[in-house]
């Protein structure tokens, strides 16, 4: 007989959940982590989960400062905080493409209103589609779908409820990264990149000295960071030297100059931007489809089982822990989204396109919701699903005669909404798993998700506009790798001008990596990104390995190092937003001391300090945990 699950807080016990305190703190964290992840994603093409940092900060503020004691109130805060991160992730992967087209004179710069509406539509669909799936995926498959991030977040909240909090780790990380970022890119007294020319290979080896990149590697772990670095090594220490050596006086599209001219004028970076970037794009596209293909049996069974499970929805009676949003609200919300997408002139989507968004969105949201339950959010093939959506939408629009910028705008609008919805569905699933384990009221969590989405959607447009004005997407400061890839795909399909030879090389690199028994997506991302980024990520992965060895912790343990590095990402992201304000207003010129100081010293000194602090905090927290376990 199947044992009945009992949550941490029983269904007949009522604790505060949605309160003024939880909403205010949750909205603030949704904005903070949304802004931080937007900046991080535009720099390196990766984002981090905000659930655990938001939960820890919530405990620190509500329990330690306000002296309130409700674990379900803390859960509402982390739910809102993580919603902001997911909205940002979906937006920065696609919407910068419109800004890039505006710079090329093809369209107008998107308004704050347009970005907000697209973000809201995608976010709302992600929540609406997940609500009817909750009973099937979270409740009835509790023993088969672990939802690793959601379970870990519940463990953190339960540990905090039983005594103790590590919120100070997050705040210390935020402060350290903010100061470092200010010194590096604001005052400019510490170089941000350490570069060593490798003349015998006609390339260079660089490392970015930024805390957020190190933190990404630490959180992802040594395995993923080493695979990304392997892709960087393949690109910068193998392919670039080969292109320069064998290319010579040859002209290779898309460049109109010879390889020798490109190298003489722009160095290894020019070879990367003119040739290697397209090879990396082909590798990422192939890896995304391979990931999607490998998941196809699971995708099909997931969709089938989830739809079957919906038939049994609501059989738990009127228990507090079984209450979802009313289905009438869900249906009305979906219809409203369809009408908004159809009628908004800034979003060139027909009624058929709006319906397709809903159909494809429901399918991919169902897949995303179940897959994160098995493999975690970090392994969810959202990029593959987004690429597949963009390809299908672009081809369909082109066949229908909707070509040019109008067709490309329609394709990116469809891709944006589905990308945001898919991200939100996976994030909501993890949050609802946390709530299920704790004994939260699902309906209140779903409402809090909607509040978090609204807050993040209202802010993300302003952040994108600000960052674009400060540095511009596709620049050294904001490479926007995912958006550049989406732009490449849409334009290539619509205009038929892709450098297919270079892209094909990337495709077969991913296929070769898969034959070696290695997941190709991480390698492909490393091949696509500049080496200075992947090298910094590798350092973070090495620090994680060192910290785990010192503390005897497993890779899934949530220690001080994870919280400290999460703070590093938030701190650098927020300081990056502030520096963007300085750049737009002209303040940056008044605080720039680079001309008055000798900056020939390597920037590695600052990076070494951040590395030492990461190991120190993770080691100290690990020892404290070990001592606490011994005393029990």
For 216-251, write each residue's pLDDT tens digit. Answer: 788 778 888 899 899 999 999 999 999 999 988 888
13 in a domain, yes or no?
Answer: no
DSSP string for 134-184? HIIIIITTTTT---HHHHHHHHHHHHHHTS---HHHHHHHHHHHHHHHIII
Say whether both 294 and 409 belong to one domain: yes
Instruction: Report the 10 Å Cβ neighbour count for 375.
Output: 15
Residue 423 lies in a domain: yes
Q: Which residue has the tokens 């003024």?
A: 20
User: How open is the CA angle 545-547-552, to the nearest 5 degrees?
Assistant: 95
Interatomic CA distance for residues 242 and 245, integer angstroms:
5
CB 185 within 8 A of CB 467: no
- Inside any domain, residue 3: no
Q: CB neighbours of 265 closer than 8 A, spacing ≥ 6? A: 257
| Residue 211 contacts residue 180 (beta carbons within 8 Å) | yes
What's the rounded Cα separation, in Å, for the pair 313 and 333? 19
Q: Does a structural domain hold residue 609?
A: yes
**Co-location of 468 and 428 in the same domain:** yes
Per DSSP, the residues of 464-487 read HHHHHHHT-TTSSS---HHHHHHH
* Claim to verify: residue 616 and residue 583 sit in the same structural domain: yes
The pLDDT score that the predictor gives to residue 298 is 60
Domain boundary among 482, 503, 524: 482
Domain co-membership, 531 together with 574:
yes
DSSP string, 246-277: HHTT-B-TT-SSBHHHHHHHHHHHHHIIIIIH
pLDDT tens digits, one per residue of 572-615 = 877 888 888 888 888 878 887 765 555 544 555 666 766 776 66
Residue 596 exposed, middle or buried by CB count within 10 Å (0-12, 13-18, 19+): exposed
| Beta-bridge partner residues of 225 | none
Burial (CB count within 10 angstroms: exposed 0-12, middle 13-18, buried 19+), residue 303: middle
Using DSSP, state whether 516 is helix, strand or coil: coil
In-domain check, residue 414: yes
End-of-domain residue from the set 457, 482, 507:
482
Q: Does residue 457 sit in the same domain as residue 601? A: no
Question: Alpha carbon 516 to chain centroid distance?
Answer: 27
If phi over 0 gives left and psi between -120 and 50 gives alpha, with beta otherwise, what is residue 70? beta
Q: How far apart are CA 52 and CA 34, in angstroms?
A: 14
Q: Are residues 553 and 521 in the same domain?
A: yes
Last residue of a domain, one of 424, 459, 482: 482
Cα-flanking dihedrals φ and ψ of residue 540, to 5°? Answer: -60, -40
DSSP strand pairing (193-198 vs 203-208): antiparallel
Residues 350 and 396 in one domain: yes
- Rounded to two decimals, the pTM is 0.76
Same domain, 513 and 624: yes
Per the domain annotation, does 63 fall within a domain? yes
Same domain, residue pair 466 and 508:
no
623 and 512 inside one domain: yes
CA 314 centroid distance within chain: 33
Same-domain check for residues 142 and 213 = no
Q: Residue 267: which domain range?
A: 172-277+494-631
**Residue 14 located in a structural domain:** no
Is residue 5 in some structural domain?
no
CB 427 within 8 Å of CB 85: yes
DSSP string, 172-224: HHHHHHHHHHIIIIIS--S-SEEEEEEGGGTEEEEEE--HHHHHHHHHH-HHH
Q: Which residues of the chain have pLDDT under 70?
A: 1-3, 46, 48, 64, 162-167, 291-292, 295-296, 298-318, 371, 374-381, 383-384, 552-560, 594-607, 609-610, 613-632
- Number of independent structural domains in the chain: 2
Q: Do 78 and 182 fall within a single domain? A: no
Residues near 445 by beta carbon (within 8 Å), at least 6 away in sequence: 17, 75, 76, 79, 431, 432, 435
């Amino acid at each position: 007989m199947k044992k009945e699950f009992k949550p941490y807080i029983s269904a007949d016990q009522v604790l505060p959940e949605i309160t003024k305190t939880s909403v205010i703190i949750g909205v603030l964290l949704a904005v903070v982590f949304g802004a931080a992840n937007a900046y991080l994603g535009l720099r390196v093409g990766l984002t981090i989960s905000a659930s655990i940092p938001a939960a820890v900060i919530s405990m620190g503020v509500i329990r330690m400062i306000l002296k309130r004691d409700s674990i379900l109130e803390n859960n509402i805060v982390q739910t809102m905080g993580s919603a902001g991160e997911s909205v940002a992730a979906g937006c920065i992967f696609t919407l910068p493409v419109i800004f890039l087209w505006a710079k090329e004179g093809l369209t107008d710069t998107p308004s704050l209103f347009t970005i907000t509406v697209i973000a809201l539509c995608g976010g709302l669909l992600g929540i609406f589609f997940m609500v009817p799936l909750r009973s099937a995926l979270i409740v009835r498959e509790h023993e088969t779908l672990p939802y690793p991030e959601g379970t870990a977040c519940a463990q953190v909240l339960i540990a905090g409820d039983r005594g103790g909090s590590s919120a100070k780790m997050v705040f210390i990380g935020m402060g350290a990264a903010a100061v470092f970022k200010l010194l590096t890119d604001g005052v400019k007294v510490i170089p941000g990149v350490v570069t060593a020319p490798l003349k015998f290979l006609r390339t260079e080896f660089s490392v970015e000295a930024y805390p957020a990149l190190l933190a990404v590697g630490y959180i992802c772990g040594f395995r993923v960071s080493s695979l990304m670095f392997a892709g960087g090594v393949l690109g910068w220490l193998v392919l670039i030297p080969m292109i320069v050596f064998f290319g010579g006086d040859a002209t290779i599209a898309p460049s109109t100059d010879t390889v020798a001219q490109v190298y003489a004028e722009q160095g290894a970076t020019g070879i990367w931007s003119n040739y290697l970037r397209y090879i990396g794009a082909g590798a990422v596209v192939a890896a995304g489809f391979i990931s999607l293909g490998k998941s196809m049996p699971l995708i099909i069974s997931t969709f089938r089982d989830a739809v079957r499970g919906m038939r049994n929805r609501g059989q738990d009676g009127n228990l507090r822990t079984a209450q979802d949003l009313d289905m009438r609200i869900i249906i009305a919300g979906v219809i409203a989204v369809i009408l908004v997408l159809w009628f908004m002139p800034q979003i060139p989507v027909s009624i058929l396109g709006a319906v397709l968004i809903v159909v494809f969105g429901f399918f991919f949201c169902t897949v995303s919701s179940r897959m994160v339950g098995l493999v975690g959010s970090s392994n969810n093939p959202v990029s593959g699903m987004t690429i597949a959506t963009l390809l299908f939408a672009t081809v369909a629009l082109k066949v229908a005669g909707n070509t040019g910028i109008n067709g490309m705008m329609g394709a990116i609008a469809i891709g944006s909404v589905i990308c945001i919805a898919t991200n939100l569905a996976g994030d909501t699933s993890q949050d609802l798993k946390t709530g299920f384990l704790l004994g939260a009221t699902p309906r209140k969590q779903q409402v809090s998700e909607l509040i978090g989405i609204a807050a993040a959607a209202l802010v993300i447009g302003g952040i994108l506009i600000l960052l674009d004005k400060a540095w511009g997407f596709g620049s050294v400061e904001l490479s926007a790798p995912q958006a550049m890839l989406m732009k490449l795909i849409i334009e290539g399909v619509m205009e038929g001008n892709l450098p297919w030879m270079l892209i094909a090389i990337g495709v077969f690199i991913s296929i070769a990596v898969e034959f070696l028994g290695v997941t190709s997506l991480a390698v492909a991302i490393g091949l696509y990104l500049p080496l200075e980024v992947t090298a910094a990520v590798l350092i973070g992965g090495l620090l994680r390995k060192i910290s785990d060895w010192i503390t005897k912790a497993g890779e899934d343990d949530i220690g001080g190092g994870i919280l400290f590095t999460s703070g590093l990402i938030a701190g650098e992201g927020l300081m990056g937003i502030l520096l963007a304000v300085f750049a737009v207003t002209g303040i940056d010129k008044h605080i720039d001391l680079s001309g008055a100081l000798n900056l020939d010293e390597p920037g590695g000194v600052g990076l070494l300090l951040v590395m030492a602090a990461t190991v120190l905090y993770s080691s100290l927290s690990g020892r404290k945990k070990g001592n606490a376990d011994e005393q029990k």
